[in-house]
Structure 1
């Protein structure tokens, strides 16, 4: 069905009827079509805004605070609170206290070193010893030509974690890096709790 155009008298009659009726919907009358406007053939773009002076990177916020640098085992041990007597701890750090027993884990694999450490620590505690020395070694030196960098000294990192886990956590009071005369960063002092 095609729509036909209303004649002027029909359109006038329609307007009189539309004025007397209440509209169902608010808004423009759908029967009244606005006159079509002819689009201009030439579109004019708004003028570009002038570019102000700037420095390269001036609006970027510095992000130097977001870098995360992992802490070493030595730093973690230094940050731990002192559980033992402060005077004894100072003497321990200066190498003035002599360990009563020692275990050397050099060259052992993790599956051999862990049970050996557990056995040594529990035996030392039952014998009433207070200070023992655990030698882990510093680890193999890094190869500067190795294409894949890797962390050295697996036992050096693992032993402090083992000492903080059961069953050893129940008998260990303090763990500290050894003085240079007892092995330095390749060994740990382990101060044991008293037997009750």
Structure 2
């Protein structure tokens, strides 16, 4: 929100505005009110500032969302998605084991991003969809997982996750 100009600022502005001439065929804008006029006006009631939009919540407790620019590059496939894991039909135990093994292999191979397809579940609240972010936040996966985000619609939308992987340390 803009703050009102102080009287001394209005004086300077009126000097500057007086040196400007409109282009041919353009209308001259109304001059700003003088400092005296502003000083004598009764103060207008200033509306309260609009509430700030809260920061979107993290996808899960331990790992942040993927940075917006990187997410965009992955979604547009400017950063390749060399591996995909589809967890449809898995129970929780098999899905977790498959996910952890998949991530370890992808990280060992030097991949920087992968796609994990969880599915949405029957009513959009599937157990794998809810639990996968928790599994990815596990402490033993922290050296590998940089962040996760919901996938673009063409990659599965709400039923899939982009998982950004950290660089493997040289050694």
TM-score band, normalised by the shorter chain?
Answer: 0.5 to 0.7
Q: RMSD of the TM alignment (CA)?
A: 2.6
Residue equivalent to 1:187: 160
- Structure with greater Cα Rg: 1
What SS does the aligned partner of 2:133 have?
helix
1:95–1:140 distance in 2 versus 1, CA, 3 Å: farther
Q: Across the two proteins, how many residue pairs are aligned to each other?
A: 113
Task: Indicate which of 93, 99, 117 corresponds to 2:99.
Answer: 117
SS, match of residue 87 in structure 1: helix
- What SS does structure 1 have at the residue aligned with 2:59? helix
Check 1:89–1:119 CA distance in 2 against 1; reply closer, same or farther (3 A cut). same
Q: Against the structure 1 CA distance between its residues 109 and 129, is the aligned structure 2 distance closer, same or farther, given a 3 Å change threshold?
A: same
How far off is 1:92 after superposition? 3.0
Other-structure match for 1:136: 118
Pairing partner for 1:99 from 81, 84, 89: 81
Q: Are the aligned partners of 2:60 and 2:133 in contact in 1 as well (CA < 8 Å)?
A: no
Deviations 1:161-196 (A, max 9, x none): 100112212210010000011111000000000011
What SS is found at the alignment partner of 2:163? strand
1:24-35 map, 5 Å: none
Q: Where does residue 59 of structure 2 map in the other structure?
A: 77
Alignment TM-score, normalising by the size of structure 2: 0.58
The Cα shift of 1:98 comes to 3.3
1:62 equivalent in structure 2: none
